[in-house]
Amino acid sequence: MASVTFKGNPVTLLGNEVKVGDKAPQFTVLDNDLSEVTLDDTKGSVRIISAVPSIDTSVCDAQTRRFNEEAAKLGKEVKVLTISCDLPFAQKRWCTASGLEHVQVLSDHRDLSFGKAYGAVMKELRLLARSVFVLDSSGTVTYVEYVSEGTNHPDYEKALEAAKKAR
């Protein structure tokens, strides 16, 4: 399993670690209107899945905004999903205030379906570890980053390069 800290403290990641070459695990999360969203809802697209601890923090906000900006350049065949354990109501408020158009912000609060499937649940905090996964259009994982310190940014350039190659 990936070794991750949050604010310098080691955390235990729950779930199955995902590796490049794996078939992307299925999950069910909630959209801001409380409707269920699954991985299959974006089937046939290249996907960047950006997991963040909380959309209301500065690094998570910046990460989501950066992927939104880049998604506009990648084209419609690339979907960007930002997933956190924030309540859908909080995510809706953030989305309304942010005005972002190219990222779908989703909640894993209900049952940690995404976090467990992708090995990204920080047990001690019941939040998602900062991580990025790129899936090609057939659902194969082509890039994985579990950010070693949860308050740091992911490697945007490597994730974006993987998404471009997966198109």
Torsions phi, psi for 146 (to 5 deg): -100, 110
Q: For the CA atoms of 7, 10, 11, 13, what is the dihedral angle to 10 degrees?
A: 120
User: How far is the C-alpha of 119 from the C-alpha of 146, rounded, in Å?
Assistant: 9
95 is catalytic: no
Place of tokens 């490049």: 20
Catalytic annotation, pick one of 24, 29, 46, 60: 60
Nearest to 112 by CA among 123, 125, 104, 121: 121
131: which DSSP letter?
E
Active site positions, annotated? 60
